[in-house]
A and B are shown apart, each in its own frame.
Chain A
Amino acid sequence: NAGVTQTPKFRVLKTGQSMTLLCAQDMNHEYMYWYRQDPGMGLRLIHYSVGEGTTAKGEVPDGYNVSRLKKQNFLLGLESAAPSQTSVYFCASRTSGTLAEQFFGPGTRLTVL
């Protein structure tokens, strides 16, 4: 099992450019999440999905869109990148239930100039 993988690992964008971050998991997990991590802010939830074809807003959804067309993939899109979106982005997944361990990807470091 590869677990949770993220593509790309690093990216530099100019303000106004768009991009898509891909998250993939091979554990047949129902739930998937996108977080951003900034110094002193901990992890903040951007969007999440409780199943294929579903998405929901998290704590900081503005400026991002997501799609879950296939159960194993969860895409995070930035339509018009801003310097405030410079961050490290983590994807995570887990099965349903309160005992389920949440597995994290290795992160994508995004810089917006």
Chain B
Amino acid sequence: GNSVTQMEGPVTLSEEAFLTINCTYTATGYPSLFWYVQYPGEGLQLLLKATKADDKGSNKGFEATYRKETTSFHLEKGSVQVSDSAVYFCARLSGNTPLVFGKGTRLSVIA
């Protein structure tokens, strides 16, 4: 079936540290892959996306590369800020079926 597995949190980092949040997906077909972010008290919003192998999505200093050979879409940022504290969700989409989300990873960045 279709599933997404992401690393469990919480992740706590100091400001300016390097961030990686791992995400892997089941390789049924050729899904599109997404990272969504949820700030405290808000709904989810799209952070970045990639639609085919080797595509790199990027936004607000975050990046993720669609790796077909490892079925992964890890989220990275070189230097996190306190304002990046949020919950991050990896998701996959195949055809017109509903998005499948991972369980989310909570990131806390301390000054």
Contact = CB atoms under 8 A, between A and B. Distances in A.
A98 B36 CA distance: 15
Q: Which 3 A-B pairs have the closest CB atoms?
A: A104-B43, A42-B103, A98-B32
Given A41-B103, A42-B103, A98-B32, A48 B46 contact: no
A68 to B, nearest CB: 15
Interface of B: 31-32, 36, 42-46, 49, 51, 89, 93-96, 98-99, 101-104
A31 B96 CA distance: 9
Contacts of B46: 101-102
Contacts, number: 50
Specify the main secondary structure of chain A where it touches its partner.
loop
Given A42-B89, A104-B44, A98 B51 contact: yes
Interface of A: 4, 31, 33, 40-43, 45, 48, 50, 58, 90, 92, 96-99, 101-107
A104 to B, nearest CB: 3
A33 B31 CA distance: 19
Given A31-B96, A98-B96, 16 more contacts: A33-B99, A40-B103, A41-B103, A43-B89, A45-B98, A48-B98, A90-B43, A92-B43, A98-B32, A98-B51, A98-B95, A99-B51, A102-B46, A104-B44, A104-B45, A107-B42
Contacts of A103: 45
A106 to B, nearest CB: 5
A90 B38 CA distance: 12
Contacts of A50: 96
Contacts of A42: 89, 101-104
B56 to A, nearest CB: 15
A61 to B, nearest CB: 12
